[in-house]
Amino acid sequence: MSEITVEDLVAELMALKIEDKQVFTGNVIRVDNKIILTGMTATVPVVVQTLEVDEDGELVRARNEKGQYQADNPDTVENEAFKEEE
């Protein structure tokens, strides 16, 4: 697998379009002769993760190989680890 630079990744994200609309805009500042990216904003809704739901519409908690709940994940909904849809 080839390595990708941060600059290349940012360029790819900034070039991404959906139905001819730019998906991300960059927030930048200029310091001397450098343009510094300080943030990116999605201007078009983008699904980044789909979580599995049960027959009642409740999110399914992720489990390890032993069937135990996986540890809480502060990056997910409600600080829990939920199973991703396959």
pLDDT, mean of residues 2-7: 86
Q: What is the pLDDT of residues 48-62, one digit of tens each?
A: 777 788 888 888 888
77 falls in which pLDDT band (50, 70, 90)?
A: low
Q: Is 32 left (phi over 0), alpha (psi -120 to 50) or beta?
A: left
Q: What is the pLDDT of residues 18-51, one digit of tens each?
A: 889 899 999 999 999 999 999 999 888 777 777 7
Residue 68 has pLDDT above 70, yes or no: yes
Enter the pTM of the model.
Answer: 0.48
Tokens 């001397």 — which residue?
A: 32
Q: Is 59 left (phi over 0), alpha (psi -120 to 50) or beta?
A: beta
10: Cα separation from own chain's centroid: 14
User: CA neighbours within 13 Å on the CB side: how many for 67?
Assistant: 0
